[in-house]
Amino acid sequence: MFSSNRRSDRQDYEPLSTPATNGATVIARGVKVEGDFVSQGDVIIEGEVNGHVTTNGLLTIGTDAKLKAEISVNDAVIAGLVEGMVTVKKRLELKATAKILGDVTCETAAIEAGAILHGKCSIGQGKLDKESSKDQIAEKPFGEKLPAEKPGV
Amino acid sequence: MLGALRFGFHMRRDTYAFIYDDFLNDRKYERGLAALDARLASLDLVGRAARLTLFRSAKEIIESMVSQGSDTVVLVGNDQTLDKVMWFLPDLDVTLGFLPIDEPSRVAQILGIPKGEVACDVLAARLIETIDVGRLDERYFLTEVALEHTLAAVDVEGRYRISPSVGGSIFIRNLGSLAENGTASADAKDGYLEVVIRPEEEKNSRLFRRAAALETRVMLKTGEIVASQPIEARVDNHVMNSMRFKIGICPRKLKLITGRRRRLAPEGEGLPNAEKTANLPFTTVQMQKASTGGGIGIRTSLRG
């Protein structure tokens, strides 16, 4: 009974070939990172991180991942535990297993039932700012000059 | 016999320096070497020749041949022959050729060089690639640094430190991998070293295995390997011991004659996304698909 299970398990457990990670930086289960983890491109985290995580790509946090970190990324899919502030430029996706203890800021969000979020959540703040600035421009009477931009700003 | 063939061309300006490994003294290689010499002669690939021996420094032999005008050093032997010269060769202004005669020849496979006399055709074609070379302390390496069953950590560019939580193996790769099946898994032309960490398996994990595990993979240009007690690092096939190693990449440092079927970059590079994600573990595939999907912003009530 066990032998057949083992065989199938062994096949499942084969390390993935490089193409599988899609060229992404990977922190796998059983690996710990401490410090400012700055990366270019996509990042997959299934291990532990203490510090900061910054990338201009997609951050994918797996179900077993534990992060005590401030996160600043372009897009994020979170299925694990995050303790710290999460700032996502564009799209944040929280899976049902996600647990975030900290404030979240993002442009758009998709949250599955079961996700846990303890903290302030600000979604679409960027859009709101853009719209309000558009409204201000629209409210100006015709012919009135907009305030000149300061040089060097 | 092979020496006579080579040294017979002293009047001609030498450009090739042929370095034969000492294991080729064995009689079983006589035929193979004769065939190799005949092929080299027919392709007009001639030059000086020397044989590595236990009591002669490979560095001295090669430096003297280079000072006499050789601009292409051709190693005849196996992967271990490469290891014998790689620690100093990148500092010389030469092009490296390789004629693998015997196993192990994994590096030759990665470089697209077939074993035996047919390798002479690769040499004659002179398809030259300029590749990166790694450096561990003062020693250059071509393939990888391996630290097995270790608790060491890798300090990446002074910004963060990465380590296996309960021990494991750390590989820092420049070109391919000696530990696997010879396929290239690191890009030797990207100006980076690839750090791969495989944690030790947990107890009972053979019975209760979870879904497929990813390998940890990060890139670095400079870094340091640190440990609380002396550790053993295998650099190409040479062993070094220390508690701290400085590691870095020397971009475009070595000119190498390769075959057309060289695999200096991972085979997956350039694959369409669908193919790239085909082998991902279920959860990760799901998550990636979801993240790139239609983006339906379903809001549900938050727990907690």
Q: What is the mean pLDDT of each run of 10 residues along chain B (304 residues)?
A: 46 75 93 94 92 90 93 94 93 95 88 92 93 94 92 94 92 73 67 91 56 77 95 91 96 92 61 32 36 34 34
Q: Mutating which of A18, A55, A103 best tests the B interface, going by the most B Cβ atoms within 10 A?
A: A18
Instruction: Measure CB to CB from residue A60 to each of B200, B212, B287 and give the nearest one.
Output: B287
How far does A72 lie from chain B, in Å, by closest CA? Answer: 16
Distance from CA of B214 to the nearest CA of A (A): 6
| Least CB–CB distance from B160: residue in A19, A33, A116 | A33
Residue of A nearest to B204 (CA): A6
Task: Determine the distance in angstroms separating the CA of A68 from the nearest CA of chain B, rounded to an integer.
Answer: 14
- What is the SS3 assignment for B212? coil
Nearest CA in chain B to A100: B304
Interface test with A, best of B194, B284, B292 (most A CBs within 10 A): B284
Contacts of A39 in chain B (CB under 8 A): 218
Yes or no, beta carbons of B269 and A23 under 8 Å apart: yes
Q: Given an 8 Å threshold on Cβ–Cβ distance, is A27 in contact with B162?
A: yes
Residue of B216, B219, B271, B301 to mutate when probing chain A, most A C-beta within 10 A: B216
CB contact under 8 A, A13 and B300: no
Å from A130 to nearest chain B CA?
A: 20
Model confidence pLDDT, tens digit, residues A60-112: 999 999 999 999 999 999 999 999 999 999 999 999 999 999 999 999 999 99
Question: Measuring CA to CA, which residue among B116, A106, B198, B239 is closest to residue B98?
Answer: B116
pLDDT value of residue B152? 95
- pLDDT, tens only, B53-84: 888 889 999 999 999 999 999 999 999 999 99
Determine the Cα–Cα distance for residues B146 and B150; give it in Å rounded to an integer.
10
**Do the chains contact at B271 and A19, CB–CB below 8 Å?**
yes
Which of A93, A69, A91 is closest to A81 using CA atoms?
A69
At residue A76, the pLDDT reads 97
pLDDT at A18: 32
Contact B105, B78 (CB under 8 A): yes
Contact B267 A44 (CB under 8 A): no
pLDDT given at position B262 = 79
The residue whose two tokens read 């209760």 is B208
pLDDT at B236: 87
Q: Which of B198, B200, B214, B221 to mutate to test the interface with A (most CBs of A within 10 A)?
A: B214
Contacts of B206 in chain A (CB under 8 A): 6, 9
DSSP secondary structure of B82-94: HHHHHTTGGGSS-
Which residues of chain B are within 8 Å of residue A21 when distances are taken between CB atoms? 214-215, 217, 280
In total, chain A counts a number of residues equal to: 153
A53, β-bridge pairs: A37, A71
Interface confidence (ipTM) of the complex: 0.73
The torsion defined by the Cα of B110, B113, B78 and B2, in degrees rounded to 10, comes to -170
- Pick the residue from chain B with its C-alpha nearest to A14: B212
DSSP-based three-state secondary structure for B161: strand
CB environment A5-35: b (16+ within 10 A), e (fewer): eeeebeeebeebebbbbbbbbbbbbbbbbbb
Asked if the Cβ–Cβ distance from A14 to B212 is below 8 Å, we say: yes
Q: Which residues pair with A105 in a beta bridge?
A: A87, A122
Residue contact B279–A111, C-beta within 8 A: no
Whole-angstrom distance, CA of residue A82 vs CA of residue A153: 36
pLDDT digits (tens, 9 = 90+) for B92-143: 999 999 999 998 888 898 899 999 999 999 999 999 999 999 999 999 999 9
Give the residue on B whose Cα is nearest the Cα of A31: B164
Q: Both tokens of residue A68?
A: 């005590």
* pLDDT score recorded for residue B158: 92
Residues B144, B110: Cα–Cα separation, whole Å: 13
User: Is B114 in contact with B122 (CB distance < 8 Å)?
Assistant: yes
Q: Is the pTM of this model over 0.95?
A: no
Distances (CA, A) of B46 to B16, B63, B65, B138: 6, 18, 14, 33
Q: Nearest CA of chain A to the CA of B278: how many Å?
A: 7
- pLDDT of A141 reads 59
Contacts of A118 in chain B (CB under 8 A): 304
Q: What is the pLDDT of residue B15?
A: 86
Whether A19 and A37 have beta carbons less than 8 Å apart is answered as no
